[in-house]
């Protein structure tokens, strides 16, 4: 399990990986500890700088999905709006769509067959 | 001024965050003039930074407008200790001609503690540089104090 695994494009050794993680991790911790040690925790010094504005809650600072797809729906409005109209939320409408599409498919199969 | 001591201070770069709390931009232009080749503050390691979290000194211009009141306090609190505040310009030091304006919270020292005052409308680059120097000396004294009695 801890041996050297050689492949056509290189090798993999768990021991080298662990040693590298320890070495790089130690360097990162050393550099981090060299930073500003007079920082006061749980104060404004601990919060991000947003041009002096207060930090908003995570919920209100997130973009909701309809914002992300705004450009997409705007560009495809002509195609998208009729689709929205079709989604009435009425199960009878959806059943009618299934029946109509099934009839069309059967006719196509019947004609081509 | 103790030249030897000043040389010791220059071993460490001084990073400055510039905050406009409602200035007409006159003082801000003079601050930028201090960085141009004519005065070239950066040769001493003094430079403007984009975040108060990286700064040693706050360089504040303008009277504090109502909209900026919370933001000035927040920026001051976000600056790591030890820190020094320089109020630049007549408006920053006293409110200037706007001192009793309805939309002002007053001069900078009414909102946050100010260490150095640089008057002038606008303040000359030489005066701003001298103000930064005074703040630097004060900051180094604070640093030495913190080293003698480290914060818990």
CB B11 within 8 A of CB B99: no
Residues of chain B with C-beta less than 8 angstroms from the C-beta of A39: 80
For B103-113, what is each residue's pLDDT tens digit?
888 889 889 99
Which of A36, A38, A47 has its CB closest to that of B78?
A: A47
What's the pLDDT at A33? 85
What's the pLDDT at B133? 87
Residues B48-52, mean pLDDT to the nearest whole number: 91
- pLDDT level of residue A5 (50, 70, 90 thresholds): confident
Which of B51, B72, B82 has its CB closest to that of A49?
A: B51
For residue A30, give both structure tokens.
């050393």
Residues A58-77, mean pLDDT to the nearest whole number: 76
- Which residue of A lies nearest to B71 if distances are taken between CA atoms? A52
Nearest to B87 by CA among B140, B31, B47, B34: B31
Residues of chain B with C-beta less than 8 angstroms from the C-beta of A52: 19, 68, 70-72, 74-75
* Adjacent-strand bridge partners of B104: B65
Nearest to B138 by CA among B152, B120, B117: B117
- Written as one string, the DSSP assignment of B2-40 is -HHHHHHHTTS-EEEEEEESS--SHHHHHHHHHHSTTT-
Using a CB–CB cut-off of 8 Å, the residues of A that contact B are: 36, 38-40, 43-45, 47, 49, 51-54
- The answer, yes or no, to whether residue A55 has pLDDT greater than 80, is yes
- Reduced to 3 states (helix: H, G, I; strand: E, B; else coil), residue A41 is coil
The alpha carbon torsion through A50, A52, A54, A58 (nearest 10 deg) reads 0
Place of tokens 């309809």: A66
Which of A49, A51, A53 has its CB closest to that of B53?
A: A49
Residues B77-90, mean pLDDT to the nearest whole number: 91
More confident residue, A35 or B79: B79
Record the pTM. Answer: 0.67
Which of B53, B55, B66, B77 best tests the A interface by mutation, with the highest count of A CBs <10 A? B53
| Prior bond of B122 cis (ω within 30°) | yes
Residues 6+ apart with CB under 8 A from B49: B15, B16, B17, B55
Residues of chain A with C-beta less than 8 angstroms from the C-beta of B79: 45
Query: Count of A–B CB contacts within 8 Å?
Result: 35
């Amino acid at each position: 399990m801890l041996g050297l695994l050689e492949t056509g494009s290189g090798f993999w050794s768990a021991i080298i990986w662990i040693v590298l993680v320890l070495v790089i991790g130690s360097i990162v911790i050393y550099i981090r500890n060299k930073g500003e040690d007079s920082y006061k925790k749980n104060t404004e010094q601990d919060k991000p700088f947003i041009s002096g504005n207060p930090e908003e809650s995570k919920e209100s600072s997130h973009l909701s999905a309809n914002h992300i797809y705004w450009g997409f729906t705007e560009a495809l409005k002509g195609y998208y709006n009729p689709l929205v109209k079709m989604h009435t939320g009425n199960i009878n409408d959806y059943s009618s769509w299934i029946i109509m599409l099934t009839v069309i498919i059967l006719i196509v199969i019947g004609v081509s067959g | 001024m103790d030249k030897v001591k000043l040389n010791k201070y220059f071993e460490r770069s001084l990073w400055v965050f510039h905050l406009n709390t409602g200035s007409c931009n006159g003082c801000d232009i003079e601050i930028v003039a201090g960085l141009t080749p004519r005065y070239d503050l950066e040769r001493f390691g003094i430079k403007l930074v984009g975040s108060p979290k990286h700064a040693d000194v706050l360089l504040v211009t303008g009277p504090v407008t109502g909209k900026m009141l919370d933001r000035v306090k927040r920026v001051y609190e976000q600056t790591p200790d030890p820190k020094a505040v320089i109020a630049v310009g007549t408006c920053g030091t006293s409110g200037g001609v706007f001192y009793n304006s309805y939309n002002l919270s007053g001069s900078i020292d009414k909102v946050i503690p100010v260490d150095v005052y640089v008057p002038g409308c606008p303040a000359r680059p030489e005066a701003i540089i001298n103000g930064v120097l005074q703040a630097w000396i004060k900051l180094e004294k604070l640093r030495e104090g913190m080293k003698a009695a480290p914060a818990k």
